[in-house]
Structure 1
Amino acid sequence: MSSNSQNSSTTNLLGSFAGLVGIFSIFLYFLGWIYRWAYFEFFLIEVTSLNLPIQSFLLVPLQAILGDLWIFFRAILVLIVTVLLIKATIWLISSLKASTAPGTSQLPISRFTQNLHSFWLFRPLRSFAQLLPKPLRYEIVVVLWILAALFWIGRWQGNADAYRDALNNTSTRPIVTLVSPSDKIALGRNLDDLLINPSLKGSRIIGDVEQFRQILGRETNDNTNPKQPIVWRLLIENNNWVYLFPAMLPGGKPNQRPPVLAVNTGDGRVQLLILSRPKVLL
């Protein structure tokens, strides 16, 4: 073999490897973005408003695929189902070939497959697919099914991890204590007397008053059970915004959401925004 053909083979190999790494990185980024979107959507925060570094989206997929043994087996199951769906879709958009299997025992299976392939709903799809070159047709099917699988994996795991962190007994988010001058924030307890609500003189409100009252008086303890402390946890700190939430007690349901306090500490000021869904239960 000449040196030129060796160099050509090496170049082709490196080009194929670089292309594979590029495609793999795109899929990882997509999975990481979907995971973070689902996680923060649980707390009513738009992931696009957080300005998270791009490299963080490439590391997050490890949690969605290799988080634990069950998550890994689920990812393997999704991979198997995705491969089967890809093969089935390619078969449906391709021309059906006559079965050459010997024996009459294959006849019922052959009739079933022919009836399924000729189903009227698949005809326009097959006609449209025939307009595309065969390699491009197959690549589109593969990419679409892989993206769909990654979307559901990221969404499932993002919601599951967010619900885990919302519960106090399973949360991995750090416990936080916010200390602020009494004239800077309307919520909070006076350290001299934890039983007296802060004065709201000079404070104004826009929005649902009941949403504010649900938290006022429950910053440190649950009114229904004074001996039960409310544990506040830090969701994320980003661009002078500190996102806090009171962790839910054990027994909280997945359709419940804790309210999130978005505290802006920029320029020495403290601004408070309450994010919550209707009928919030702590």
Structure 2
Amino acid sequence: MSQTPPPTNNPNILGTLVSLLGILAVFLYFTGWIYRWAYFSFFQLEITTLDLPLESFFIIPFQVFLGSFWAFGKTVLAAVVTVFLIQVTIGLLEPPRRQFVGNLNRLQSRLIRFTQKLHRSGIVRKIRSFADLFPQPLRYEIVIVVWILIVLFWLARWQGITDARQDAINDTSSLPVITLVTPKDQLALGRKPNDLLTNPPLKDFHIIGDSGLLENLRRQETTDTTINPPRVWRLLIERNGWIYLFKTLPPNPAPDERPYVLVIRESDGGDQLLILSPETSKPASK
């Protein structure tokens, strides 16, 4: 008679791997969403109106973590800070230690002394009383997840704003230069290719809002690299039948300066022409 083999204590490797991949996917999506939210908020656009593909939120975090040597350095620093914050928080949730345990290194000893001082404050006592409502393993997992999300939020937000500002400045932008050709009288803004100096009439258009913005842009519709600073129009994104254009910022703009953004509906008849280029055109040689 065969005997049933005794149960083993080996963990379910596949189940653990699936759980880790699920947690990693959540962190990647969260990072990608915060990055894109910060990036497009710089251009005064709401991310929920762009209907971006889901997979892009899982890819963009690699730009946050590994996009450059400086980004990788920030990632390493953020990981170190996260571990430190987790250790400090868990130390606050534990009962205060009355004596040190042997074989502690200098960093651990300082950390314990620091947490002992914090244990005496009333706020920490209230936090510890609230944490006692949860089982100890769950308590520690909540601390780890919360601190990771906080650090990922600030890391992705900082990188998103940095990249948006870089793309908004003409000298550092990696976004394509654009030329949009539309039928006559379709847009209130624009110039005739054979007469760039005349303002087209606006008798058939109406306006709501700041008329000064329209008047300012009517004199700046075309790219001009002969002036200082140069005026260049670039494509921010094209999504769901809408084209988002912006006029680049000059070098060293003010911290709160933002570019003008035009949101143009693509023609249903397909009679618009969109020309993209990595750089502005050069004067024709004679």
Question: Is TM-score (shorter-chain normalized) higher than 0.5?
Answer: yes
For residue 269 of structure 1, report the CA deviation from its aligned partner.
Answer: 9.1
1:89 aligned partner: 89
1:138 aligned partner: 140
1:21 aligned partner: 21
**2:236 pairs with 1:235:** yes
For residue 242 of structure 1, report the CA deviation from its aligned partner.
Answer: 0.1
% identical equivalent positions: 48
| 1:102-134 deviation per Cα after TM superposition (whole angstroms, max 9, x unaligned) | 8xxx9x977765332111111110100011100
Distance 1:23 1:247 in 2: 39
Question: Aligned letter for 1:116?
Answer: L
Pair 1:16–1:25, CA change in 2 (3 A):
same
2:259 aligned partner: 258
Number of residue-to-residue matches in the alignment: 262
Pair 1:190–1:73, CA change in 2 (3 A):
same
Distance 1:4 1:203 in 2: 84
| 1:190-239 deviation per Cα after TM superposition (whole angstroms, max 9, x unaligned) | 112111011111011111111111211111267xx857652110000001
Question: Aligned letter for 2:143?
Answer: V
Distance 1:100 1:178 in 2: 71
Contact 1:28 1:57 in 2 (8 A): yes
Name structure 2 gaps, 5 residues minimum.
272-286
1:78 aligned partner: 78
Contact 2:31 2:61 in 1 (8 A): yes
Contact 2:233 2:245 in 1 (8 A): yes
Distance 1:175 1:221 in 2: 9
**1:1-282 equivalence runs, <5 A:** 9=10, 12-100=12-100, 113-220=115-222, 229-268=230-269
RMSD (Å) for aligned C-alpha atoms: 2.6
For residue 5 of structure 1, report the CA deviation from its aligned partner.
Answer: 7.0
Pair 1:209–1:98, CA change in 2 (3 A):
same
Pair 1:162–1:227, CA change in 2 (3 A):
closer
TM-score relative to the length of structure 2: 0.84
TM-score relative to the length of structure 1: 0.86
Distance 1:175 1:77 in 2: 36
Name structure 1 gaps, 5 residues minimum.
271-282
Report the 3-state secondary structure (helix = DSSP H, G, I; strand = E; otherwise coil) of the residue aligned with 1:181.
Answer: coil
Report the 3-state secondary structure (helix = DSSP H, G, I; strand = E; otherwise coil) of the residue aligned with 2:253.
Answer: coil
